[in-house]
Amino acid sequence: MKGVLRDVRFKALRLLAPVVILLFTASILWGIHPAFAAPKISVLVDGRRVSADVPPFIENGRTLVPVRALAESLGAKVIWEEKEKLSLLKPKARRSSFKSAIAWLLRTARQP
């Protein structure tokens, strides 16, 4: 009986060993691949670092920054309209509103 159990254990180990080695190797290679490393993103306004509760991140090749932190660092007032689920940004020069979780604000730089 003991000989039969030894044979079963040996066969099981012989079958599982390559699978375990393959998974271990794949997990190591996956972990060191540079494409999976999240870069640290810093946002600077007038040379000062902008800090936010949620850090900026890259999604689909675009850098997403929390609008409240960026707007307040630029001197804008941010108001949240709960009823309409709307963020209102009131900069010094103009008013902007965003009804989406993701907003695009495009502004061209002017030469002095």
Mean pLDDT, rounded, for 7-19: 74
Return the pLDDT at 99: 63
How, if at all, do strands 62-64 and 96-98 pair? unpaired
Inter-CA distances, 52 with 18, 101, 108, Å = 46, 16, 25
pLDDT tens-digit map of 52-71:
888 888 888 888 888 888 88
Residue 71: burial class (beta carbons within 10 Å; 0-12, 13-18, 19+): buried
More reliable by pLDDT, 75 or 30:
75
Q: Which residues, including other chains, have CB under 8 Å from residue 10's CB and lie 6 or more apart?
A: none
SS3 68: helix
Q: How far apart are CA 43 and CA 89, in angstroms?
A: 19
